[in-house]
Amino acid sequence: MLKVENVTKYYGDFLAVDNLSFLVKPGEIFGLLGVNGAGKTTTFRMIMGLLDCSEGKITLDNKPIDYSVTDKIGFLTEERSLLTKLTVRQQAIFYGRLKGMNEKDILKRLDELLEKFGVLEYKDKKIKELSKGNQQKIQFILAIINKPKLLILDEPFSGLDPFNVELFKNEITEMSKEGSMIIFSSHRMEHVELFCKKLAIIMKGKTVLSGDLKEIKEQYRKKNIFVKGDLTKKDLLDIDGVIDVVEHADEYEVKIENIDVSQRVFKEVSKHKNIMKFVVEEPSLNEIFIAKVGESYDK
Ligand code: ATP
């Protein structure tokens, strides 16, 4: 298990990470979310032992993370850091050896992964000859070449097209099923929502929300109702407890204060003709994120 306990990081006088704590168990995918400058990369660097914590403690299976466990860890850095003059095969051998693998196993695993990601033909190409997206795939492949027990992914989806986001997500999910602990950062809530069960939202280095995604959504009082039919925006806005009504192409999204208001909305909607849709939904993670980040800006 990865334990981050009361970790604080100062750069000089500047407090970049403020008393952060979380746990990641085998098989869990944990999302560390936050706006630019929130402290995500700093946290990852401390986990990797590339930066010292000013206060607090980080352990993997109750031991400090140091050189002796690098073979169990994979890290995709935010700034892409490939040696661009080397070929993909040469890079893989270089990285794999750093992780304590022998050349035969490295090349076998490399072929499997290149095939899976549809880039087998680039094996003997230099990194600098590849497109940005393909370079990112190679960097991801290298981060997982040793089937790491702990995989840290700093903004893994940035610059990827939707098809490749899907490929990455599938691989990450598969690794978690095999027992890996995975932590990743992202600004893209729709990516997080689909496959991450636990998360923390940080803001100026401080946790503003953390826990199980399902519980976070249930506990968030505001809900949305999607309504389609012969009624006007005003009909909906006039209902007590309705905060806002957003008009989409052919339906309304009614934002309500809490679940009890849905009864009143239903009563009003039932008075109208041709109602084709009435669905109460949890808010999206994006909506919760924006609300939480907004609240902490206001403080
Ligand atoms: P982004 O999403 O933009 O990558 P982040 O959440 O990863 O941001 P960090 O890179 O961890 O954020 O930075 C957290 C804060 O610490 C920022 O205000 C940043 O300016 C500051 N910071 C980062 N590295 C240093 C450094 N080496 N010296 C001084 N301040 C730093």
Q: How far is CA 1 from CA 32, 42, 86, 197, in A?
A: 16, 20, 35, 16
Domain shared by 99 and 190, yes or no:
yes
Pocket test residue of 4, 40, 153 for ligand 1, highest count of atoms within 8 A of CB: 40
Q: Is 262 exposed, middle or buried (0-12, 13-18, 19+ CB in 10 A)?
A: middle
User: Which two structure tokens, joined as six digits, stand for 182?
Assistant: 């995975």
Count of structural domains, the chain: 2
Q: What residue numbers bound the domain in which 111 lies?
A: 2-217
Domain shared by 59 and 189, yes or no:
yes
Domain presence at residue 254: yes
Domain shared by 231 and 164, yes or no:
no
| Per-residue pLDDT at 188 | 77
Domain shared by 94 and 198, yes or no:
yes
Q: Whose CA is nearest to atom 30 of ligand 1?
A: 11
- Does pLDDT of 136 surpass 60? yes
Domain shared by 170 and 265, yes or no:
no
On whether the CB atoms of residues 38 and 204 are closer than 8 A, the answer is yes
Pocket test residue of 18, 33, 35, 42 for ligand 1, highest count of atoms within 8 A of CB: 42
| Per-residue pLDDT at 178 | 95
Residue at which a domain ends, from 217, 239, 261: 217
Domain shared by 211 and 226, yes or no:
no
Domain presence at residue 289: no
Domain shared by 145 and 231, yes or no:
no
What is the CATH number for 244?
A: 3.30.70.980
Domain shared by 155 and 197, yes or no:
yes
Domain presence at residue 298: no
Domain presence at residue 292: no
Kind and range of the H or E run holding 258: none
Domain shared by 165 and 233, yes or no:
no
Domain presence at residue 294: no
On whether the CB atoms of residues 24 and 30 are closer than 8 A, the answer is yes
Distance CA 180, CA 173 (A): 9
- 40 touches ligand 1 (CB under 6 Å): yes
Q: Whose CA is nearest to atom 24 of ligand 1?
A: 42
Q: pLDDT per residue over 23-52, tens digit each?
A: 999 999 999 998 888 899 999 999 998 899
Q: Whose CA is nearest to atom 11 of ligand 1?
A: 39
- 11 touches ligand 1 (CB under 6 Å): yes
Domain shared by 204 and 251, yes or no:
no
Distance CA 114, CA 133 (A): 14
Domain presence at residue 192: yes
What is the CATH number for 57?
A: 3.40.50.300
pLDDT band at 160 (very low <50, low <70, confident <90, very high): confident
Which residue from 52, 46, 67 is spatially nearest to 2, judged by alpha carbons? 46
**Beta carbons within 8 Å of 274's beta carbon, 6+ residues apart:** 229, 230
Domain presence at residue 143: yes
Kind and range of the H or E run holding 291: helix 285-298
Residue at which a domain ends, from 170, 191, 217: 217
Domain shared by 19 and 153, yes or no:
yes
User: What's the CA-to-centroid distance between 54 and ligand 1, angstroms?
Assistant: 15
- 20 touches ligand 1 (CB under 6 Å): no
* Mean of per-residue pLDDT scores for the chain: 90
Percent above pLDDT 70 for the chain: 98
**Beta carbons within 8 Å of 41's beta carbon, 6+ residues apart:** 78, 154, 185
Distance CA 156, CA 49 (A): 20
Domain presence at residue 10: yes
Domain shared by 165 and 241, yes or no:
no
Least confident among 114-123, 134-143, 214-223, 276-285: 214-223
Predicted TM-score (pTM) of the model is: 0.84
User: Which two structure tokens, joined as six digits, stand for 31?
Assistant: 């999302």
On whether the CB atoms of residues 32 and 43 are closer than 8 A, the answer is yes
| Per-residue pLDDT at 24 | 96
| Per-residue pLDDT at 200 | 92
